[in-house]
Amino acid sequence: MTLALDGGTPVRRAGWPSWPPAATAEQRELLLEVLDSGAWGATSGTKVTEFAGAFAHSVGAQYGVVVVNGTVALFLALRALGVGTDDEVIVPAYTFVASATAVILAGARPVIADVTPDTLHLDPASAERLIGPRTKAIMPVHLAGAPADADKLGELARVHDLAIVEDAAQAHGAAFRGRPAGTLGDAACFSFQSSKAMTAGEGGLIVTDDLSLYQRLWSLHNVGRSLDGGWYEHPEVGWNLRMTEFQAAVLLPQLALLGGQLATRERAITFLERELKGFDGLALLPEPAGTTRNSRHLAMLRYDARAFGGRGKADFVAAMTAEGVPLDAGYRSLSREAALRPYGVQQVCPVAESAEESVVWIRQHLLMADEQALADIITAAEKVRQAFAS
């Protein structure tokens, strides 16, 4: 068969489910309610406060603070925990750059730890080797919707008196040993950017069980005001990092939809695991031990070029995309990000760096498809493998 790249017929001509999904009637109703009310900002309306409480409750946390995006959520959590100039925060190498730049925004230095070869999550052993006198916090990332190792990282934090800030941007609904992501550290940060499991285009949220930390988070995101203070009282320096009522109106109905969407993606993973069993050259990365719920933000695949005629990952991604299956090349290791070097990032992370050449992603919206569509992923991969190997 001729590859679509070479003028052949693509395996799949039909599209994939859209993300975010089409707006619901409830979202439209709530948006019009906010529009007609004229109370469009968080300080004049009720939807932001309602969403903060409802989301925190959904993950088993006591308090929630809603902000403009996930990067700001990480920055705010770090600042509220006292992270600042001359401090260091340990961040995994295989993650979005915002995990590190949020540390820089807080005035601290990101220290990049390597990841585990099987799951690509933060390696506790690598993190431990990097703990020094200036280390103030660890930022585990719940990568691809699966929780990081809260047991080992939590023990590290206790032994070395460090804070844990969960980067849960991809982990809405995930759980570790029955404990929801969001309750595994001192604070947890979620994202509502366009690609996330819950989305308002942009937005972020911090949850915590610590009342004093919540009060500080609330103050910092609301220009330094205090919960019981006056409008023009500013006990500390803060910023206007508030979400709008429109975004909260879009997000509120999604809390009820999340469970069904997670179940759909779990069925997709079950199908892919079955179909890829014994498939030479492609394998799903396993869940970290202790995962009791995975939000399946991404399916990460290990690509073995040897089974594909020695062709590199970029060729595979291009060929699959031409066949109508748009795969993603995934992250670069933060240890190689030139933008971070002026901030002292100089670690070598061989596992994360190797993943650049061997890991591809199936994004969330493809995992919302039915089995007939998912079967096209396997068919396209087999077609590409045969062509590359010939």
Taking a C-beta distance cutoff of 8 angstroms, is the pair 150, 291 a contact?
no
Residues 85 and 211 in one domain: yes
Taking a C-beta distance cutoff of 8 angstroms, is the pair 147, 174 a contact?
yes
9 found inside a domain: no
* Interval 217-264: pLDDT, tens: 999 999 999 999 999 999 999 999 999 999 999 999 999 999 999 999
Residues 310 and 201 in one domain: no
Instruction: Give the mean pLDDT of the chain.
Output: 97
Of 195, 170, 189, nearest in space to 68 by CA: 189
290 Cβ contact list (under 8 Å, min separation 6): 147, 149, 150, 151, 176, 177
Residues 279 and 247 in one domain: no
DSSP state of 199: -
Amino acid occupying residue 63:
Y
Residues 266 and 345 in one domain: yes
Pairing outcome for strands 187-191 and 163-167: parallel
Taking a C-beta distance cutoff of 8 angstroms, is the pair 60, 182 a contact?
yes
Amino acid occupying residue 127:
A
| Cα atoms in the Cβ-side hemisphere of radius 13 Å centred on 266 | 14
Does the pLDDT of residue 1 top 90, yes or no?
Answer: no
pLDDT of 48 reads 98
Mean pLDDT, residues 167-174 taken together: 98
* Interval 47-74: pLDDT, tens: 999 999 999 999 999 999 999 999 999 9
Q: Which helix (H) or strand (E) holds 320?
A: helix 313-322
Rounded-to-5 percentages of helix, strand, coil across the chain: 40, 15, 40
Indicate the burial class of 102 (C-beta count within 10 angstroms; 0-12, 13-18, 19 or more).
buried
pLDDT of 153 reads 97
Pairing outcome for strands 135-138 and 88-92: parallel
Residues linked to residue 208 through DSSP beta bridges, in sequence order: 63
117 found inside a domain: yes
Give backbone dihedrals phi and psi of 114, rounded to 5 degrees, phi first: -75, 175
140 Cβ contact list (under 8 Å, min separation 6): 92, 121, 122, 148, 149, 150, 153, 164, 166, 167, 184, 185
138 found inside a domain: yes
Does the pLDDT of residue 148 top 90, yes or no?
Answer: yes
10 Å Cβ neighbour count for 362? 24
Catalytic amino acids? 196
| Range of the structural domain that residue 305 is part of | 257-389
Residues 217 and 329 in one domain: no
Tokens for 329, please give them. 């090349």
- DSSP per residue, 248-268: HHHHTTHHHHHHHHHHHHHHH
Residues linked to residue 41 through DSSP beta bridges, in sequence order: 244
Give backbone dihedrals phi and psi of 155, rounded to 5 degrees, phi first: -65, -40
Residues 324 and 371 in one domain: yes
Does the pLDDT of residue 379 top 90, yes or no?
Answer: yes
Mean pLDDT, residues 268-290 taken together: 97
pTM score, two decimals?
Answer: 0.97
Total structural domains within the chain: 2
Residues 360 and 229 in one domain: no
CATH of the domain at 204: 3.40.640.10
20 found inside a domain: no
